[in-house]
Amino acid sequence: MLFRSIMLAFHNYHDVKGSFPAHASYDNDGKPLLSWRVHILPFLEQQALYEQFHLDEPWDSTHNRQLISKMPHLYVDPSSARSLEEGKTHYLGAKGESFVFKGTEKGKPLAGIRDGTSFTIMILQVNDQRATTWTKPDDWELDPKDTLAGLSGSMHPGGFLAGFADAHIEFISEDIDPKIFQHLLTVAGGEVVSREDY
C-alpha cells in the first residue's frame, strides 16, 4: 500500500534524525520553505529527486516550482481523478498545537506521543478538493465547526484513511464522534480511546 510506504518513511527518518520531520523546513527569518513531503524523499528511495531541490529556497521559488510536476506517484491516491503531473497530494499532516505536527520547525520525537502511537493520527488522506501542492508547507488543520472538513467525500465511500504514529493505516468512518476524532489527533491529551469507539 502506497500510504503505508509514507508512514514507514517517517519511521526511517526518525531512526536517523531522532524525531519525525517538522511540518516544514524554515529559513532564518522563520518563513516555511518546503513541506515534510520533500524531506522524507530520501526515505522513499527518491534521493535523486531530493537532491534536485534548492533546500534554502521556498517551494514556489523559480527553481523549486519546476519540480512540482515530478511528484512521486505514492503522494496521489490511486482512486483519485487527479493526474500526477498536477503535483497535488492527498496526504497531509494533522497540524495543530497539540498534534504531531505543531506547525513549528521542530519535529516530534516518538517519546513525545504520550497518548500511544497506535492511537495518535499523524497523516490524513484528504479529498480531491483539499488536495494541495505536494512541496508546499500546507497541512490539514482542524476546524472545530466542521471536524471532517476536507476529509469527508474522499475517494473511499463513507470515510477516509488515516496514518497513525505507529505506521499503521486505518479507515475512519465519516460517522465518527467528533470528540473521539479529536482525541485521536492529540499527542498527549490523556484521553482513553478504544478501537470500538471508531
DSSP 121-136: EEEEE--TTT-EETTS
Mean pLDDT of 90-102: 95
What pLDDT digit, counting tens, does each position of 123-180 carry? Answer: 999 999 999 999 999 999 999 999 999 999 878 889 999 999 999 999 999 999 999 9
C-alpha span between 9 and 33 (Å, rounded)? 20
pLDDT of residue 17: 96
pLDDT of residue 28: 92
C-alpha span between 22 and 26 (Å, rounded)? 10
- Are 71 and 117 in contact by the 8 Å Cβ rule? The answer is no
In the chain, what are the helix, strand and coil shares in percent, each to the nearest 5? 30, 20, 55
- The pTM assigned to this predicted structure is 0.93
Closest by Cα among 39, 27, 56, 26 to 135? 39
Q: Is the pLDDT confidence value at 192 over 70?
A: no
Residue 178 belongs to what H/E stretch? Answer: helix 178-185
Q: Are strands 88-89 and 121-125 parallel, antiparallel or unpaired?
A: unpaired
Other C-beta atoms closer than 10 Å to the C-beta of 85 total: 10
What pLDDT digit, counting tens, does each position of 4-61 carry? Answer: 999 999 999 999 999 999 999 999 999 999 999 999 999 999 999 999 999 999 999 9
